Chains A and B, each alone.
Chain A
Amino acid sequence: QKEVEQNSGPLSVPEGAIASLNCTYSDRVSQSFFWYRQYSGKSPELIMSIYSNGDKEDGRFTAQLNKASQYVSLLIRDSQPSDSATYLCAATQGGSEKLVFGKGMKLTVNP
């Protein structure tokens, strides 16, 4: 199993819907998880970090971490066309400070 696995999608949702992005991870990563948004031709932008089991909300974004099932998810409520981007799940590799990334999920929000 790869350290961080992410369904590569793509995912298409209508404007105003909830977009759900998921990521699973192996025992080789530690317990710090991050979601980055990457617009085409741009660098990744950190949008959420989560370290504890449960939910963390920030505006329209909610990150969920389930350590027992080894998955982390990102929910985007009231999706907007401006949310259209590739979303990258990342985790700190166990024993290291580097981030390991999933392959990314391309999200398109249709007006």
Chain B
Amino acid sequence: GAGVSQSPSNKVTEKGKDVELRCDPISGHTALYWYRQRLGQGLEFLIYFQGNSAPDKSGLPSDRFSAERTGESVSTLTIQRTQQEDSAVYLCASSAQGRSSYNEQFFGPGTRLTVL
């Protein structure tokens, strides 16, 4: 079946602009995660959705970052007033939580964000 998809694959923006990143999880996966990977760095957790609720937002770096999920499906990560330090690959993952999957998370291809 189809995996996790993300769009756009690349986004170049100017400092101070707002950006929206989209994630379509694997069909039927109830849990959705956003991570960030800066160049040469490890993966940093941003936010976790169970259904349409976000029980863990602890990784969002500032109030410029927000995310929502609708229909227990698509999620959008919004970054307002982008800064150069926001440049990174934003990765979305989903898992079939509540089943026998032990929370195996499957990643999408990522969105590479460059803030000029």
* Cross-chain contact of A99 among B45, B50, B97 (Cβ < 8 A): B45
Contact present for A98 and B48 (CB under 8 Å): yes
Contact present for B103 and A104 (CB under 8 Å): no
Q: Check: B65 CB closer than 8 A to any chain A CB.
A: no
Count of chain A residues near B, Cβ 8 A: 22
Contact present for B91 and A98 (CB under 8 Å): no
**A103 and B42 alpha carbons, distance in the complex (Å):** 5
Taking the nearest CB of chain A, how far is it from the CB of B97, in angstroms? 7
Q: Check: A22 CB closer than 8 A to any chain B CB.
A: no
**A104 and B41 alpha carbons, distance in the complex (Å):** 9
* Cross-chain contact of B42 among A45, A96, A97, A102 (Cβ < 8 A): A102
Contacts of A101 in B (CB 8 A): 42-43
Contact present for A49 and B50 (CB under 8 Å): no
CB neighbors of A among B13-68 (8 A): 31, 33, 35, 41-43, 45, 48, 50, 56, 59
State the main secondary structure of chain B at its contact with A.
strand
The 0/1 profile, CB within 8 Å of B marked 1, for residues 48-72 of chain A is 0101000000000000000000000
Q: Check: A17 CB closer than 8 A to any chain B CB.
A: no
CB neighbors of B among A70-111 (8 A): 88, 90, 92, 96-104
Contact present for B91 and A44 (CB under 8 Å): yes
Contacts of A92 in B (CB 8 A): 103
A-binding residues in B (CB < 8 A) = 31, 33, 35, 41-43, 45, 48, 50, 56, 59, 89, 91, 93, 95, 97, 102-110
A-B contact pairs, 5 of them (CB 8 A): A43-B110, A46-B105, A97-B97, A101-B42, A101-B43
